[in-house]
Amino acid sequence: MNLENIIKNRKKVIIIAVIILVILIGAFTTVIILKKSSLGSAVKQDLEKDLMDGKNAIEIGLAEAKKWQADAELSYLKSDQVGQERGRSDNWQLIFVSKNIKDKGYFVNVVNFKIVETKEVNYVGAAAEFPIDAISQEEAISRVKKITGYENVEILGVEAIYGSTGEVWYWGVKTNKGTVSVKAK
C-alpha cells in the first residue's frame, strides 16, 4: 500500500468514528433527558409516599392514646404543613379525650410515622371514633378548590374537628382566604 491509500483509509476510519461518537452522544443525551423528566415525577411520588394522611396519623396516635386511657377517642387533628393537592404531611398533632377524665385531653404529635411527643393537656371537647368511610383530607381540599373564588387558593393546613353539637366530623381546610368546613361524612 502506498502512503496515499493509507491516508484515505485513515480519513474514512476517522469519519466513521466521529459519526459513531455523534450517534452515541445523541443517544446518551436523549436517555438523560427522558430520565430527568420521569425522575422529577418519580421523586415527587416518592416524597408523597413518605408523607402521612390524616387517617395514618389517627391510627398511630389512637394506639398511643389508648395507653393513656382505654376509652380514648379522637377530638381534634391538624397539620399546618400539608401539600397543596393531596393534603399529606409529615407532621400531625392530635388531641384525644376520655369520658373518665374531665377537662383534660391527651396530645400526641406524630412526625414521619413516629410519635415524637405526648402529654396530658387542659382541653374541653367532644369526641367520637373517626369514621372509616369519611372522605380524605385530599377530597376535602379538592372540594374547596371547586368553590368559585377558591380554585387557586394556597392551602395552609387541614384539621379534623368533631362537630360542636357532637354528631359529625368536619375537615377544616385552612386557606389564605380563611378556613372552609367540609363534612367528613
Nearest to 182 by CA among 128, 154, 145: 145
Check residue 84 and give its pLDDT.
Answer: 55
Check residue 167 and give its pLDDT.
Answer: 75
Judge whether 169 and 185 are in contact, CB under 8 Å.
yes
Check residue 39 and give its pLDDT.
Answer: 46
Is the confidence at residue 4, as pLDDT, over 70?
no
**Percentage of residues in the chain having pLDDT higher than 70:** 77
pLDDT tens-digit readout, 37-94: 544 444 344 445 568 888 889 999 999 999 999 999 999 999 877 665 566 788 899 9
How far the first Cα of the chain sits from its last, in Å, is 90
In the chain, what are the domain boundaries?
1-49, 54-183
- Cα-based angle 103, 74, 68 (whole degrees, multiple of 5): 65
